[in-house]
């Protein structure tokens, strides 16, 4: 079945890759950056935010998202190890990496000219993050695991960029919407490959969906202080458990992949589906509890208290 699955996914990936190339738009990071706002940095100069300081949640989102984009070399290595045996998926991985690199370029250039973040702190964090590598863990269990995780992660990243952009000025909003548009096309590629995997090998794919959904964490979750950043991001309404449930789990896992109605599962896969659906119900309850408890005081402290868990993982 593994050989049959890879052959089927290669064929589908080729079609989806062509679709992606037809939908993707060429764009240039340097054209989105307001260079007229920039000036020279003095070595050793203390950071002082210019203009109106960013709200804590927006600053945290930009910090985490930029460092996540910066860690592309480690992500590419992990993905290529999973995809590399397939010529089509190997080619896709290289194209994906080229597109993702634009995101770190444009975000960093925009932050340099606007001085919205402490760039010394950002650079030190980048050195630490990239030097530490990327622990794939459960993500590397199979090709299907990788596809499921990437579908979830790309959609979550798209949502985070889009919602962050809505809280910025016109230039920042335009820039992040452009980045989010790329992430959406990446999400569609992975989502539809998982749909193809369900059709070929429903049992093993359902097991992979269970593993990835119930253990999901964002790539930046290993950053120092991520829980505090995540709480600030949640309090700002950018991304939290409720967003994850309503905009990722429900539309993708329950509706698009139709996890509840997949037929032909063996006993092990049926157990995985039961486990997954119980987890989804629990996530719904957690999301509702957090929404109610933090509504009266939408602060980082209120969110941390309401969540009562490590915000690096959606449990």
Mean pLDDT by 10 residues, the chain (315 residues): 78 96 96 93 84 89 93 85 83 94 96 93 90 61 90 96 94 95 97 96 96 88 85 91 94 97 96 97 89 62 50 41
Rounded Cα–Cα distance for residues 269 and 283 (Å): 21
Would you tell me how many other CB atoms lie within 10 Å of the CB of residue 98?
A: 11
Structure tokens at 268: 């092990």
Task: Tell me the CA distances in angstroms from 159 to 77, 82, 179, one per residue in order.
Answer: 25, 26, 11
Question: What's the pLDDT score for residue 137?
Answer: 46
> Angle 251-220-14 (CA atoms, 0-180°, nearest 5)?
55
Structure tokens at 211: 């593993």
Can you tell me whether residue 192 is helix, strand or coil? helix
Q: What is the pLDDT of residues 21-37, one digit of tens each?
A: 999 999 999 999 999 99
Would you tell me how many other CB atoms lie within 10 Å of the CB of residue 37?
A: 14
State the distance between the two ends of the chain, measured CA to CA, in whole angstroms: 31
Residue ranges and CATH numbers for the domains of the chain are: 2-34+54-307 (1.10.620.20)
């Amino acid at each position: 079945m593994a050989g049959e699955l890879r052959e089927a996914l290669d064929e589908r990936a080729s079609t989806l890759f062509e679709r992606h190339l037809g939908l993707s738009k060429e764009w240039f990071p340097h054209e989105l950056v307001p260079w007229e706002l920039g000036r020279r940095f003095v070595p050793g100069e203390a950071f002082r935010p210019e203009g109106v300081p960013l709200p804590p949640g927006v600053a945290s989102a930009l910090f985490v998202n930029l460092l996540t984009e910066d860690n592309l070399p480690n992500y590419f290595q992990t993905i290529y190890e999973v995809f590399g045996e397939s010529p089509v998926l190997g080619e896709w991985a290289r194209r994906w990496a080229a597109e993702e690199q634009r995101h770190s370029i444009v975000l960093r250039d925009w932050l340099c000219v606007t001085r919205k973040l402490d760039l010394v702190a950002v650079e030190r964090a980048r050195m630490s993050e990239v030097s530490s590598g990327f622990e794939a863990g459960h993500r590397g269990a199979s090709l299907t695991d990788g596809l499921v995780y990437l579908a979830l992660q790309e959609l979550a990243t798209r949502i985070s960029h889009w919602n962050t952009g809505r809280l910025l000025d016109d230039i920042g909003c335009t820039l992040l919407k452009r980045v989010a548009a790329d992430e959406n096309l990446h999400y569609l590629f992975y989502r539809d490959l998982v749909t193809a995997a369900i059709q070929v090998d429903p049992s093993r794919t359902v097991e992979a969906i269970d593993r990835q959904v119930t253990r999901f964490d964002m790539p930046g979750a290993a950053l120092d202080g991520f829980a505090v950043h995540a709480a600030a991001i949640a309090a700002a309404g950018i991304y939290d458990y409720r967003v994850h449930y309503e905009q990722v789990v429900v539309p993708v896992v329950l509706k698009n992949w139709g996890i509840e109605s997949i037929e032909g599962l063996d006993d092990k896969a049926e157990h995985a589906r039961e486990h997954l659906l119980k987890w989804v119900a629990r996530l719904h309850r957690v999301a509702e509890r957090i929404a109610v408890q933090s509504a009266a005081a939408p602060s980082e402290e209120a969110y941390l208290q309401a969540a009562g868990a490590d915000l690096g993982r959606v449990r």
